[in-house]
Amino acid sequence: MKVILQQNVPKLGKAGDIVEASNGYFRNFLQPRSLAVLATPGAMKKREEDVEVLRKKAEKAHQEALDLCKKISDHGVFRVGAKAGEGGKLYGKVTNKEVAAVIHKSCGIEVDKRLIKLLDDIGSLGTYKAVVKLATDAQTEINVEVVMEGMEDKPSKPVQPVADAEPAQEEELAVAE
């Protein structure tokens, strides 16, 4: 007898599948637990409508994932603060949990930490790459800058060459005299 599965059933099929089941298995197991219904013409038509609704939902979720990836990649560099010792070596490691918190704080987008893959272990100060994968084909690569704790909100300043700094000091001395 042909039945339409309402939920995933191990070793039989996934929700929405039309499968062949014995009469006893259907009457004694599948039907009482609301795992399947008979594949009547009316049920088949309803299944087709449900498949169309699911397809539209999946398409909308995919578009939202692409939009979120665009918003995350447009943000630029995400700055994470961490405690570090001399030489810039961190006391611990920066994990994808901290990166997810920084993305949420910076962009307002809540990303599950399991969707973030760090390309390198982050054990010292510097810039690292990570991949945020929101769907199978909706992913973006981000830069994560690890700075001293308390400095993550301050903009990074480019280092001035020493030659540029010396004339400014000479002017200050001339003004002081």
Residue holding tokens 């390198």? 120
pLDDT at residue number 56? 94
Closest CA to 67 of 148, 163, 162, 140: 140
Judgement on whether residues 49 and 90 belong to the same structural domain of the protein: no
Residue 175 located in a structural domain = no
d(CA 88, CA 100): 22
pTM of the model: 0.63
Judgement on whether residues 101 and 125 belong to the same structural domain of the protein: yes
Residue 159 pLDDT > 70, yes or no?
no
Residue 164 pLDDT > 50, yes or no?
no
Token pair belonging to 150:
């308390």
pLDDT tens across 112-155, in order?
A: 999 999 998 998 999 999 999 988 888 999 999 999 887 766 66
Chain-centre distance of CA 61, in angstroms?
A: 14
Residue type, 109: I
pLDDT at residue number 157? 52
Judgement on whether residues 52 and 114 belong to the same structural domain of the protein: no
Judgement on whether residues 44 and 76 belong to the same structural domain of the protein: no
d(CA 91, CA 94): 10
Q: What is the rounded average pLDDT of the residues 2-29?
A: 92
Judgement on whether residues 20 and 83 belong to the same structural domain of the protein: no
pLDDT at residue number 155? 61
CATH assignment at residue 20: 3.40.5.10
Residue 175 pLDDT > 90, yes or no?
no
Residue 76 located in a structural domain = yes
Helix, strand, coil shares, percent, the chain, to 5: 45, 30, 30
pLDDT tens across 49-105, in order?
A: 988 998 999 899 999 999 999 999 898 899 999 998 888 899 889 999 999 999 999
Q: What range defines the domain where residue 120 resides?
A: 66-148
pLDDT at residue number 151? 72
pLDDT at residue number 79? 92
CATH assignment at residue 100: 3.10.430.100
Judgement on whether residues 34 and 84 belong to the same structural domain of the protein: no
Residue holding tokens 């943000």? 75
DSSP three-state, residue 51 = helix
Residue 172: pLDDT band with limits 50, 70, 90: very low
Report how many domains make up the chain: 2
Closest CA to 80 of 6, 145, 3: 145
Judgement on whether residues 88 and 136 belong to the same structural domain of the protein: yes
Residue 158 pLDDT > 80, yes or no?
no
Looking at residue 6, the DSSP 8-state letter turns out to be S
Residue 170 located in a structural domain = no
Residue 169: pLDDT band with limits 50, 70, 90: very low
Judgement on whether residues 75 and 140 belong to the same structural domain of the protein: yes
Judgement on whether residues 134 and 72 belong to the same structural domain of the protein: yes
Contact 14, 31 (CB under 8 A): no
